[in-house]
Amino acid sequence: MSSLALKLLETRQTCQPNPVFDLQDPRKLAIQLRDHKEQSRRRPNSVLNQRLKQIIDDPSARSFKLQREGIDPVELNVLIERTLAKLHEESEGKEILTLEGARHVKNQIEELKASKTQLLKELADRPQPQVVERFVQIDKDLDLLQTKLTSHEILVAQLGYVQDMFLDQNPAFVASDVERSLEGLVSKVVSMSVQNNVELPEPDIEKMRSLTGRIEWCSDCIAALVNGSKTTPISETHRFTKDIGNKQESSDVEELRTALTDLQFAHNYLTRKFEDERELHNTSGSKSVVFSINASHIIPRGPIFRGHLVPYQEQRQRVDFETRVQKVGRGHERTVRAGARGRTCGEKAVAGLAENV
């Protein structure tokens, strides 16, 4: 059996004869596969093998490669040939069209449908034998093409065929390295925009559904970040430092104002306390208190306030306060006398120096 897949796909372009694989004997097929793989490693002799190698090495085919580790393009080529051969045997002469052939059949069907519609109009207006014959022939050709296209689509569905083996880049394909890298780039751009206080352009929902649209939006965001950082005036930095200095100065003023208020409060409190004590001293000085000390108890004698005798403890405090005031007065007098003596001694010393001169 010849290589059916290469004939159907029309990709075999080599001067060497096409290899023939025995699909009935697994042992012989393994030997042929090994020999063919060794030849392919030394020199690629198939355009299809090169194309399969590009597909396997492409990052977009990551999910395809995860299904089978260590896949080889030559082995994949043989698997495709075997599948196509089995499908061709079971399809009873039906074939899978190439992409160009399927496109050509679809165009022919559209043209025949348009011609059929035109002939129907002519038959409705003026029926003629020639028009009827043309209509019958077009209808037969249309049925043949429809059957051929339907068989192609059924075989393709059974084979699991896709138009392009490269995965379509869409938002749902988040497992690829490109998508993860793009997500990291978007996160970095958004973070930088927040740090630099730069407004990013609004994304277009329709464009963001494709990989190209998201890349373009990231490019616009990067341009906005660059322009935003360039247009930031230098005076803003100086104004920022100036604002910090003003805040520090205002905080110092507040602390000084608070300290001044506390000092005024303390001054008022001490002044009022001094006035109260002085008034108390004057009152106690104007009234005599006589103490009679007995062997067993102390009998206070003195002025009467509201019908009660002044307690002994209060009278004692007043006497102590008067004693302290007298001591302070005597100390002040001694200081004044010492100052006078010092001034006199100084005058004498100056006079003695003047006489010696």
What tokens were used for 209? 């559904």
pLDDT in tens, 317-328: 565 666 665 655
- Which one of 25-39, 50-64, 251-265, 280-294 scores highest in mean pLDDT? 251-265
Distance, CA of 238 to CA of 230 (rounded, Å): 16
CA quadruple 247, 250, 255, 258: dihedral sign: negative
| Mean pLDDT on 143-147 | 89
**pTM as predicted:** 0.29
pLDDT the model gives residue 165: 41
Indicate whether 101 pLDDT > 60: yes
- Highest mean pLDDT out of 59-73, 290-304, 323-337: 323-337
Predicted confidence (pLDDT) per residue in 112-123, tens digit: 989 888 888 888
Mean pLDDT over 286-293 rounds to 44
* Residue 190 pLDDT: 81
Share of the chain above pLDDT 70, in %: 44
At residue 134 the predicted structure's pLDDT band, cuts being 50, 70 and 90, is confident
Cα separation of 161 and 209, whole Å? 25
**Tokens standing for 196?**
């630099």
Band (268; pLDDT cuts 50, 70, 90): confident
Residue 45 structure tokens: 């002799």
Identify the bridge partners of residue 309 per DSSP, sorted by sequence position: 304
Question: In the structure, what pLDDT confidence band is assigned to residue 89 with cuts at 50, 70 and 90?
Answer: low
Q: Which residues contact 51 (CB under 8 A, 6 or more apart)?
A: 11
Which residue type occupies 94? K
For the stretch 74-84, what's the b/e string if a residue is b when 16 or more beta carbons lie within 10 angstroms of its beta carbon? bbbbbebbeeb
- Summarize the confidence of residues 183-199 as an average pLDDT: 81
